[in-house]
Amino acid sequence: MTSSDFCVGDPSLPRGPQGYACKDPAKVTTDYFVYTGFRGEKTPNNVFGNNVTLAFSNVFPAFNGLGISMARLDFVVGGVIPIHSHRTSEVLILVKGSIIAGFIDTNNTAYYNRLEIGDVMVFPQAMVHFQINVGKTPATAYVSLNGANPALQLTPTSLFAGNLPANIAQKITLLSRKEVMQMQRIFGAA
C-alpha cells in the first residue's frame, strides 16, 4: 500500500485550490523531504539590498499539503525587505547580524523592534511588515510561514513594477504623479 501520509506535489498534474496533486508515493524517496537550497552564501544584488530565497511548495514540493513553508532572508549592510504581506502568519529567527523588524496593524500602529542573534519575532496573519538591516555587518534570517503557498506580496513592486497604470497607482495611493513615475523608473516599468 502506498502512503497517504504526505502529498509531495507533482507540478505536472493539475493544481487544485489546496495545492498540487500528489506525486506517486511509490516514487517518493527520502531526498524529497530535504531542501538544500539554503546552503552557502547568498549575495543580495537588487535595489533593496536583499536576497530572498523562497522555499514555498512550488520550489520544495514536500511542503505541499502540509501547511508550512520557509524562506531565507539575506541583507547587505543597510539592506531591507520592503513592506510586504502574506496570506499567513510568519515567524522570523535572526541568525546573523542585527535588524529592525516590524509590522503595522489595522489601527496604523507599528510594532517594531531591534533584534539580536537568536531573537524570534512573529508577524500576525496578513499584516504588512518589513525588515531592515541596521547593523554594521550583513544579516541573515530564516522565516517560517504557516501555509505551503503563503504568497509574498511586496507593496512597492505590486504598485510600480507590474502592469498597473500610473494614473491608477497615483489615484489609489495619493502619491504625486512625479513620485509614481520615479518609482516606476526604479522598477523598470516605465
Of 164-183, binders to a copy of itself (CB under 8 A) are 164, 168, 171-176, 179, 182-183
- Phi/psi-derived region of residue 95, left when phi > 0, alpha when psi is between -120 and 50, beta in every other case: alpha
x/- map, 104-123, a copy of itself, by CB under 8 A: xxxxxxxxxx-xxxxxxxxx
Among 50, 51, 64, 184, binds a copy of itself (CB under 8 A): 64
One-letter amino acid at 66 equals L
* By CB under 8 A, residue 52 contacts a copy of itself: no
Q: Which of 52, 73, 76, 132 binds a copy of itself (CB under 8 A)?
A: 132
Q: Does 98 bind a copy of itself (CB under 8 A)?
A: no
- Which three-class secondary structure state does DSSP give residue 172? helix
Among 98, 158, 166, 181, binds a copy of itself (CB under 8 A): 158
CB atoms within 10 A of CB 118: 8
Looking at 130, 135, 139, 184, which residue binds a copy of itself (CB under 8 A)?
Answer: 130
For residues 61 and 27, give the distance between their C-alpha atoms in angstroms, rounded to a whole number: 13
Is residue 77 a contact point for a copy of itself (CB under 8 A)?
Answer: no
190 touches a copy of itself by CB under 8 A: no
Q: State which residue, 76 or 121, has the beta carbon closest to a copy of itself.
A: 121
- Per CB under 8 A, the list member of 77, 136, 137, 151 interacting with a copy of itself is 151
Q: Report CA-CA distances (Å) from 176 to 31, 157, 161, 184.
A: 52, 17, 17, 12
CA distances from 136 to 50, 90, 119, 190 (A): 15, 26, 18, 34
